[in-house]
Each structure stands twice: as C-alpha cells, then as structure tokens.
Structure 1
Amino acid sequence: MEISKFIRELQAISPNWLQMLNADEQIYSFRPYPSTSKLINNMLYIGRLSRLLPLATEERLNFLCIDDQNGGYDRELLLASFPNCNIVLTSHPIQFQKLCDLSTEIFLAETKYTSYINHMMVAANMNKGPQYLVDEAFKLLKSPIVIIDTSYKVIAMYNGIKIESRPDLDTQREIGYITEQTLQRMKQDKIYEKLRASKYPSYDKPKTEQYGWMTILVYIHGIEVAQIAMMEYDHPFTSYDFEFLNFFSQLISWEMQKNDFYKNNRGIMHSVFLSELLDRKIPNQRIVKLRKEQLNWNDAPCLYVFTVFDNDATDFSNKAQILAYQLQHILPNSRYAIYDGKLVLLLQQNDEDISPFLEGGLVDECLESNQLTGILSNCFSNLLDIRKFYDQTLKVHELRQIISEQRNIYFYSDYMFYHIGQIISEAYDLKDFYHPALNKVMDYDAKNNTNFLDTLKEYLLHVDNPTLCAKNLYIHKNTFFYRMNKIRELFHLDFSNGMERMRLHLTLEFLKLAELTEEETLRKGKKN
C-alpha cells in the first residue's frame, strides 16, 4: 500500500510528515528499528525518534517515529542525515507496542481488502451479470447492496436478509422500482448533487433511520447510467468500505457494457435509416414505406426531432451511445442516430404530448445530470421532412447563444418568432415590420416613467389571466386593469382583434431579438 494511505489510517494519533519525498512509495510490511537485519526499500520502520539518528543513511527508506523528545530534536541534522527518506512523526503520546498493534491492524485490513478485490475480479469474469456481483459482494461484506438505473428501476438487489426497519426495501424488490418516498427524500437531501460533485462514494444517515447508506454513481464513457447504495448493516463503515464500493462501481460499469444494448446490430440498422433521412438520401415515400416495414417501424401521426448537444466534449460518440440507451428507456417510441457529432432522436407518438420534456421530468433530469442540452422541434408527420425539423433544433442552438437562456431543454416553438425575425432581417430592416404603436408606448414610458410596455407584454402572454399578469408585475389586479385601460385609451389599440394582438406580440419578439443581437455584436467586438 502507499505510505500516504497508511498514514491516513493513523489519523487518530495525529501523524505529521517531517519529510515527504515520495507519498506514493509502496510499503508491504513494517519492522521495528533499530534492526539487526539490513534496512530495505518498501518496508516501514517503526521506532522512537531518539534512536533514529545513528541509522543515518542515503538509502531510500521509510520511517514512522514516536516523538519521544517532545519536539526537542535538531530538524536540520535529521534531514541532512536522511536526505532520501520519508519520515513521519507521531505527535500524539503512544506506546511503541500500541503503534505496532495499530500498524498490524492496518496491514491486515489492506490484505483483506486486496483479497476482496481479487475475489470480485474473478466473479466479474464469470459473466453472470450484476445480480451475481451483488450476491458475491454481500458474502464478503455482509452489507446489503441495491443497484438502480437512471429510470429508478432496480437492476440488482441483496438477498437473504430482511431489514425490519426498512419495509420499503421489500416493496422496492416487489415492484422493481425505487419507491417515490425514497426518491423524494434523496432529492430533498441533494444526494445526487453530492455524488456528481465528488465522483466518489458519499455517506448519508438520516436522523430517522437506523442504518446509514453509502452511495456512488456508475458511469459509462462519462454518462451516468446507474446508482449503487450499500447499507451500513453488519459493521461501521471504514475507509476500505469506501474503496471497495468505488471499485465495485467500476465492475458494475464493466458488467453493464457487456449488455446487448451496447452492441445491438439491429439498433445500427435503425440509426443508418435515420441518418439517411437526415441526409435526404431517401428519394420518395415508397422507399420510406419499404424501409419502415423492414425495420418494423410503426406509423405514428406525430413526429418530433430531439437533438442533444454536448458543447464541451471533443468526442461525444461513446457518451452518446449510453445516453441514447437511457433516453430510449424514458422515450420508448424513439429511434436515434449519432449524427454530425450530436445525438438525434426521432420520436414517434400518437399525440402531441411533450410532458416528458418539461422541466423536472425524467428527460430534463437525465440531461442535467450529464451537463447536456436538448432541443425539441415542432411536430411533423412526414418522415421525408425530418431534415427541416432537425434544422429547427440547430437554429435554436444558434439562437440560444444570443438569447442567453440557461435551461436543459429548449423548444423550437419558443424561438420561432426569433427565427422569423432573423429571416426577415436578412433582406429587410426589421423595424419596418414593427407595430407602429409599440414605439409610441416605449416613448411614453421613457417620458413619463411608466411601465406600459412591460404591462402589455404580460397581457399578450396571458390574455385571459389578469391575476397571473398582476402577480408577475408585482402589482394589484386593479392596478393592472387601470394600466390596460390607459394603454387602450392612449394608443388606440383594439385587444379584441386577434390580428392586432398577434402583430403586437410579434413586434415585441422582434424588439428583443434586435436588442440581444446588438449586445452579442458588441460582446464579440470587445473580444476581437
């Protein structure tokens, strides 16, 4: 084991490094000093500081010394006498035999841990799946383990014991999913946020529970695919339990990569067809129909393109494979292709339900946990049009850099007016298309210190909900009614006319686009 790890295990007696030349030096055992045998590398020598100086050497050795001189030693002389040695002092009063006993316990624990790791490596090579690995780990540690995937489905779970204080665990075993109560508690305690930040097992013991839990996330190519939780049941956790669970998470990652989803040839055929559609290589509906029949694609009246972007990754392809598998669990009526460095999903639905993509939903959580961005196109019905709707997602990806909204999921429908504004501005002055009353409203606000423009924005967004408008404006509902009557009176606007409302709303979107585009141009100018 590394000498630095050994020293960490001695924290109870407050060891201090007098000289650290190589904290990663491997030590395989310990001996007392002075010793009649020759001093050798990779051994830890334990003794009293007062008896160290006569052993002066230029060899690369490791010493753990009891400071029996209470700090009254010549530091410079010691370091000059042992220029190539790691030297650690115990500042805590301790008997020599007690220090040897502690060292023996640490080396025994390390040997036990190493044997456990070897046992689990043999188990992993048996190719019997995650449940077998959970069973083997329980034989060694006597600590119950539960593994769930990112859809909160139980992948594997301990067997052989009943935990009376946690009947919900039996419920999880029965239904095959984590219970809603447990999930909400984990979200409330921000367990996932802690795990994503640390990338190492995290310990948590709720005040109301008898046992604590150690938890870690499982990753494949940087994508979060599962979570492992181990209960502090048979013994209090030690640092070796944390190390074991960290290693175990890597074994589970390896085991999950053996799954058929990772090398599914049929899935590749779906991806090829989708890529050909995106490249406009499918000439007509007859070929589309033939390919759909070959691949057993159902006819669905509502199609969407959902594109996932990873702005930071240099190679998204490996991560995208795992992410696609996760998203297909959440969106079962979907096909995917890794296309032009992005993950592109085609959603085939019987209706226009987009609830899985709303904030706080499973898709949103999946993207947030992996620091990715997704964009949903408008609905369409003809597969040959897929490229147009894929381009919608690309346009939103471009526009969101200007609009500067920070979300996990974006919708083309929210950016459609900005897109229209950009197209118009390429050939015309966008101001020529503004509703004439809007400039008058802005001039009036500037001269009279009123908030008619903001009031008008809220009204157009929530025409039939004056209560919400007033709430968003932080004013009384009667004040909102007063402002709207003044706007009608001063600017001669007819809000009962749908066309009038549409022109006003479109102008407001154009104004925002023009303002943000100007800010973006100024920012780029400063950078250059």
Structure 2
Amino acid sequence: MNLQELLNQLEFIPKTNLSQQALAYEIAGVYLYTPHMHIQVHGERFIYFIEERNMAKVDSACSKHHIWFVLTEHASAHAHATQLQSCSVADRTRWIDAYTCFVSEFQRIAAKHEMLLALTAAINNGASLERIANDAAEILEGPVSILDTSLAFRARSKSFLAMFAGQKDAEEQMIPENALPLMRARGFVNPWKPTELAIFSWTGEDQNHYTNHYASVFNHDVLVGSVSYFTKNEAARPSRVALIPVIAQLVSIAMQRQNSHTLNKGLYYTHLFQQLEDKTISIEPDEIARRLVFYGYQLKRHLHVVGVDMRANWLPAERLRPLAEQLQSYIPHSLYVIRDDAILFLTSHDTWYEESAADQPGLAELAQRMGLRLGISASFTDIRELPVKIRELRRAIEIGLQREPQLLVWPYSRFRVADFVSRMSTSVDAEFFLYPPLMRLIIHDETHGTQLTQTLACYLDAHQQVDTAADQLFIHKNTLYYRLAQIKEIMQVNLGDGKVICQIIIGLELTCQQGRITLTYREKASTSQAPAASVAAQSKTQN
C-alpha cells in the first residue's frame, strides 16, 4: 500500500493545494503532506514522508523548518542529511509503518478534540463533576481525580483505583529510534506546556512507580482546586498531558456553574484570609470589597472577627461545616473560614458596635453545650488589619480563661487593658507604673482584711454608677457610699479625674498580673459598651 492509498483511507479535510501535484491535508490542526515536487511553505512545521529521489525538488530554504522521513535506497545517509532535519529509513515497510503510526496518533488526537467539544457541551448542560472526571479519564486514557484546595476529593473517575498495567504502547515501536532525538529537538515530542501544569512521581507500597500530572483550577485568579491525571510505570504521552490544562479550564467553568459555588466561596475566603495574614496581598480594601461582592458578601464599614478555638475540641472535617453554619446563625452578616485549629468569622455592619453585633448569650449557650471557647476582636475598618484582629481574639480567649472562665465568649475590648498590662508586667521597670495611692489602698486591705480594692475596681467598672456597683457587689448602696468615703480618705485622690482613673486601672491590672490581688470578672447585664476594666467583687462580704 503506497502513501496515497493510505491517505485515501483517512477521514481528512482538504486544506489547500500548494501546487497541482502536492496535496495538503489537515487532521485536527496537524498537517500531513505528500510532496512529489518543489514545495514552498514558510512559517510552519510539518512532518514529511518522501522518497530520496524526490528530495532534489524540495526548497532547501524552507525544508530546514520541518521533519523529513526520507526513504533511501541505501542505509547510508542521503546527500541532504547535513542540511535537513531528517531521518533516513532504508526499509520501505518501516517507512510506511512510521507514517501509519503518525496518522493513527493524529486521528486519535482529532477524536479527543471532538470529545473535548462534546464535554464542553455537556458542561453547558450541567454535567456533574463525576461525569466530567469520567469523560476526562476517557480522553486522557487514564485515571482522573478532581480535588479542592482542602485536598478533599470532589470527583474521581471509575478508573481511579485501577492504574495502567504499564505496557508500553506498541505503536511507538514503529517509529525508528533515530527519529526520536530529532523530533525531541524540534519540539514534537515535548511540546510547550502551560506553566500551571506540574508533575510529580512516587513509588507506592506495591513498588510500582506512579506519576501525577496535575493542573490547577482557578476561579478569577483564585486557586480553587486541581485536576490530576495518573500513570503507573509508564510515561504519559505529551499529547495527552497537553490536554490537562484545557480540562482544568472546563472544570473551573463547571464549578462556577454548579452548586460548588458555595465551596468556591469558602475557598476564596480561605485564600483571602491567608493572603492577609501572610501580607502577600497588594490590592486595596475597596478592591477586596468588590471581589467579596462577586461571591455574594457585601463588606460594610465596621468589622469584627469572631473566632472559635478548636484546639481543645477536635472534630472531624464533616462536622466542622455544620458547626460553622450553626454558629453563623448567631453572628449576623458574616462569612466564615475553617482552619485546623479554629473557625473564624468576619462580620461587618454599617453601625458601630464595640463588641460586635453577635448574639453573645446565644453563642455562650451553644458554647456551653458543645464545650467551645470564643473570642471577639475589637472593631476595625480596614480589612488589612485582619491579622492583628485574629491575634486579639486569641488573646481575649487566653485572658478570659484566666479571668472569667464562666463566660465562654470573650470580647477583646473588655481585656485590652489587661493585655496591655500583661505585656508591660514583663518589663524590669514595671514597678514604675504602680500608682502609689492605689498601693496604699492595697496595703490597707492586706493589713485590715478589708476588700476596698475590689470595691473600687467594681465601682470603676460600673462607670461610677452607685446602683449598678452596689447590685454587682450584693450590698446596699449606703454601704457602698461608706466604702467609697473610706477609699477617698486612704488614697487622697479625686475619683472624678480621668488621669487618676487611668492610673488606678493600670495599677489594678498590674498588681493582678503580679499576683498581689485577685480580680474575678463577671458578665455584665449590658454589653453595649465595654468597661475600662471589667472587674467585679470577689466576695460578697461587707466591711
């Protein structure tokens, strides 16, 4: 069978007549030529099969850009070997076999392109990720999986657990070995690969060698997952590997069209939080707000972060999302991110709240039932401050566990002074910040067994409201007036002076940090405003 007879058996599309005696055929974008005379083609690369006696008709200027399989009359190289990218084949049968190999492969690639078009149509009609994985496995002729960025499987093909047997494709044996280095040098064996494609290999417990070729799946420049194609004990064909990024693009479209939009939101939120914490994000807050709008969240002016500490309450992954959604019902207008050690909620409002608009009693009740611990950051307006606010809520949990362990929900605004003083107490100069009038009061309590220091702390905590302080101390307000008179006599200060109050509060926190006094924090009836130092009496005993 000669070349023309072989060509006639192909399903081809006539492309153009370069001359009356040279026909060109296009098969899925790959051109095959049967030249029998002088041919001039510039700017493209082709594979030619030609008999040596016809080489004299070839334009040497253009021939250097192509691959030539030359059927020679003798085993020695032909006269054009030094000028052309060519491979000499002395055996006509092998020459025909090599041509047949290329034609067969081009036909298969063409069929796969048709399958990709069919898959695109299926995605447009709502095909599931499972269907996409199976169709991709058929196109790539190997197992395929789709992962999200949490490394959870979104879909796997039926062939995922059944790896290739490792038999080398017999068709490759039909290509003369001396042609492979030439084709590799010309870019036919290892075509250009998109940068998002990555390959890694490993040896399994069964001692088989596995290779994962994977391409990232992006949604508006946000990484949301990956598509993997596996081989076992063999190299993947470059023509198959080159299709993986295309399939990844199709998966991206499918994930945006389907219910995985919710997952995409979660992945974007996780990605955004990580970028903000790593300080690798370079866009302005307004641009971040616009991106969040795309995912259905309107970022408002006043922000808080609410965090659930999961370090002491490990839960399997399948229970974390339902828990997050349950907690979210108590945190208005919020989005959440699930971490290994915490669930973080970003909440925003047009109205300013010092301790956020979260339903703290509801959260506390849920935390009590489930053994959770929650912290709330201070208010902020620039989302780029997120890393600081996450540290704030973690500090609120740490200090709250020491000061008010019964609350289970601890706003940082109540513990800001305590946090500040705890850092200051490690300084060798901490004694300089102790307020002498307050120290006189503490010494009086130590000497006489009174609790005037705790009374003063509760009075300031209640914003100097006598009725509120008396109620928290479980004493009559006349008793409180008597105690306040004692305090003023001992300290000799004006308790209405803001600077005096500031020094007293710092002194209270500092002596508490030093272990000299104990202040037991209690939940206030109203949390609309955070006190300067949230302390209540340790004892109900009156002086």
Interval of TM-score (by shorter of Structure 1 and Structure 2): 0.3 to 0.5
- TM-score normalized by structure 1? 0.45
- TM-score normalized by structure 2? 0.43
State the structure with more CA Rg.
2
* Higher normalized helix content (fraction of residues): 1
